Amino acid sequence: MKSFEKLLSENKAWAREKKAHDPEFFAQLAKTQKPEFLWIGCSDSRVPAEIIVNAQPGEMFIHRNIANQMISTDFNCLSVLQYAVTVLKVKHIIVCGHYGCGGIKAALGRQSSQLVLTNKWLMHIKDVYRLNRAEIDALPTEEARVNRLVELNIQEQVQTLAHTSIIQQAWHEENRPTLHGWVYGLDDGLLKPLVTLYPDTEIDPIFKYDYHEADMALPAMKFVSSRR
């Protein structure tokens, strides 16, 4: 059996097992999705989102890319974010990075002449390093430097989320979602929360959207403008 054929046969076995356990499982799922969580994780094959939190189909809306980045000009993650927040109305967004991340390790080295596109994708992480260079360079080993940058990068992505109009509008109008930054340990399989931003978090004014005009246009939102 070829390696990809194993995937197809495993899929048949999985679907059969699910159906045996609950005959309505797929029929129910096919109707709609109402996940409570948006997960933004690394593409790394060792950090399979649903498996590490024992989630079932329908529980998490998922976006993964190299080094779990939320880049404010990337229409891919922005589209996922907008759909998750505006249509699915998720209550929590989890940015999950992991120790030993290859993308972070690469960002700490010189640019590869072969992976020119990947270099560009990692450019923001180089900026996170540049802004925290003294702290990271003071660490004794490459492993420690990579792992600290992993943590700082997760915190940075959570901040970037809070700087988007999508999050600020949802915070302002619906008091959700809560933003979480978690890090996963490849060597122990455990998640560790690093940062949580609740919808009442004060945002740095230079990243703040002004919703005052929107309040004036929406009578239902007047109670908000009267607070000011």
Residue 42 interacts with Co ion (CB under 5 A): yes or no: yes
Q: φ and ψ at 193, to 5 degrees? A: -70, 135
Positions annotated as catalytic residues are 42, 44, 46, 98, 101
- For Co ion, the closer of residues 45 and 226 by Cβ is 45
CB of 41 to Co ion, least distance (A): 8
Candidates 44, 151, 156, 215; binder of Co ion (CB under 5 A) is 44
Stretch that binds Co ion, among 31-39, 93-101, 163-171, 201-209 (CB under 5 A): 93-101
Stretch that binds Co ion, among 53-61, 84-92, 97-105, 209-217 (CB under 5 A): 97-105
Residue 156 interacts with Co ion (CB under 5 A): yes or no: no
CB of 164 to Co ion, least distance (A): 22
| Count of residues of this chain found to bind Co ion when the rule CB under 5 A is applied | 4
Residue 101 interacts with Co ion (CB under 5 A): yes or no: yes
- For Co ion, the closer of residues 129 and 171 by Cβ is 129
Residue 136 contacts residue 145 (beta carbons within 8 Å)? yes
180 φψ region: left (φ > 0), alpha (ψ -120 to 50), beta (else): beta
Helices (H), 83-181: 102-107, 116-131, 133-137, 142-162, 165-174
End-to-end CA distance of the chain: 67
Stretch that binds Co ion, among 25-33, 94-102, 180-188, 216-224 (CB under 5 A): 94-102
- For Co ion, the closer of residues 81 and 107 by Cβ is 107
Residues paired with 192 in a beta bridge: 183
CA dihedral for 122, 159, 45, 104, sign (positive or negative):
positive
CB of 74 to Co ion, least distance (A): 17
CB of 143 to Co ion, least distance (A): 14
- For Co ion, the closer of residues 60 and 154 by Cβ is 154
Stretch that binds Co ion, among 38-46, 154-162, 172-180, 196-204 (CB under 5 A): 38-46
**Closest by alpha carbon to 57, among 34, 89, 23?**
34
The 10 Å CB-count burial string (b at 16+, else e) for 17-47 is eeeeeeeebeeeeeeeeebebbbbbbebeeb
**Closest by alpha carbon to 46, among 100, 93, 94, 9?**
100
CB of 91 to Co ion, least distance (A): 26
DSSP state of 219: G
Residues forming contacts to Co ion in the complex (CB under 5 A) are 42, 44, 101, 103
